[in-house]
Chains A and B, each alone.
Chain A
Amino acid sequence: MKKSREPFRFFDRVHLTELTGIKAKNLKELVDILKNAPDSIVYYHTHHFLEEHHYLTPEPANDFAVWVSAILGDEVLGEKLASINAFEFPALGALRERIVNVMGEYISSGQELRKAPEGREFYFMKWVSVILPTPYAARDLREFVEALRKLSLGSLYFHIFESRLRLGKVTNDFSVWMKDSLEEQELAEAIEKVDPYTYTLEGVRSQLIKLIERRIK
């Protein structure tokens, strides 16, 4: 089994939710604020539920879709927003553009804009991420899969989602290491293809373990 010169070091990520004090009471306000909001706000509202509700199958949709459906009572637009697949977007800017476009088209179509009741407005929030080293490291696939079993969900989340979308890497950290350090091109690509948005976090872990174990055998 090939060993890498530099071990893969696992990091953990914990986060704190920061409130902006900004809120929208209808779709027009939502889209106007979103257009100029920092990436950290887009990231929070399209990802936080993946951690908070990771036990629910199916997982609830992104915050924009949930608010439009449940609070504004517009299930058609809600469905359109829920079906935007974040996995297809290489960066948060492109994801934001898609969301803004879907909302913009709806507003242009002249649909009646409903107002959220007081207290149920859309509250804009963002994440402050704190990245910490963990004691886990791996030089080969066997060590890697053993560590993968023990990782906190925050750690798994960091290497899969955060590194790609927030730290601007092309793909997830695991695939990068497997390609560059172990020359495991095929496995790296198979891991890249696992859409983390369609599984719970534990489901992602199981998929990765399965792929790596198959390779080790």
Chain B
Amino acid sequence: MSTQPYVPAPPLVKGDHDFASITRLVTDVNLRPTPKAWYLFMILANALAGVLLISIGYLIWEGTGIWGLNNPVGWGWAIINFVWWVGIGHAGTLISAILFLFRQDWRTAINRFAEAMTIFAVMCAGVFPAIHVGRIWVIYWVFPVPNQMYMWPNFNSPLLWDVFAVSTYFTVSLLFWYVGLVPDLATLRDRATDKIRQIAYGIGSLGWTGSNRHWWNYEKAYMILAGLATPLVLSVHTIVSFDFAVSMIPGWHTTIFPPYFVAGAIFSGFAMVLTLMIVARKVYNMKDIMTDDHMEKMNIVILVTGSMVGFAYMMEFFIAWYSGVEYEQAIFILRATGPYAWAYWTMMTCNVLSPQFFWSKKLRRNVGFTFFISIVVNIGMWFERFVITVTSLANDYLPSSWDYYSPTIWDALTYLGTFGLFFTLFLAFLRFLPMIAIAEIKAVMPQADPHNYNEETNEYHPPKVEVPKPQLETV
């Protein structure tokens, strides 16, 4: 092992900020009068959300038949979109929980943001399982509620596991997010000048004072939540993948699905966070907090998870061949060469090829390029779900039943509509809630560390990074 110089970690907050300036930087966004542009985008988002409502209304009125589903292909865009949104919804909790446990302090800049995205993405995801069933008005039968039939749900069904997994995940993410929000709502409460805000934020902050006796329990709770959310976030997409893996359709019945789905989820989640972050930090000029270092770190995560997904694709093929099951082999050859080859190769290009650019540090730190790739990745991940869901169903065991699936305008409009829902919520979040965890970011600033103060004068002196003497290896 060669000796290498100690490289100091870059400061998490750029520019010379003190606590007050951070507070202002973040909370002014919520307190200053609403900008015109915000209304414009909100109207657009609402219009899209309207499209969602209309297509759902028409769906309930007419029946599932308005979608392009057919006999072998019982699941189409609805399930694809569900998995896609849920996947995106993984980044938030992952960032706030797992990175928290790993003491990745840089997370504090983006966790609030990512958690909000998670919650809204899961809401969009939740729409689909609810509306894709044939009789939407009795969807509540999937919950173990007493009913006139004296029947209970079937606990063998992965779909039922899904119900519990996704609803649990949503609830816990929401709580986690809210717990994080409480001290910052208090900040807003104390900075707000008008009555309405004071009352609204006052209620939201539950009367938080910043008491260190409270902080003491609070940190404990936050730690425990992070500990709980970590297995949870891994379990959710595992269970989503069970919807496929537990069935017996060639191309679905695969043990690699859980890890592969989780990797894919993180992959797409981080990409989505980047897409939003790059825009937001520009609009709200938060470059000091959401720095290029953050972007680079996340690009590295994308590179890693992207390669994991790529590995999974290869592994699927290998196992199909190795298992010697003719139906497995057939479906994988069909994916690459069959009627849906176009979708398969789109997926390959977007998910496996495009992240490889991030081996280059220059590209990792290139904002425009990152933005582009982050979108490409999410397109790719949508196609991954398409390839998994549709191709396997379209060409399974009995060739006589093979049939081609093509979506209708209503499939497309419903999907489009969920973006409306997502951005409506997200814009509201940006407007009314602090998009950065103020308390947490302050806590990781050097000023927050008592050791950075002179013992006598109690004056702040920035920490000087001392580079330790290179230790020589004794062999």
- Genuine A/B complex: no
| B interface residue numbers (CB < 8 A to A) | none
Interface residues of A (CB under 8 A from B): none
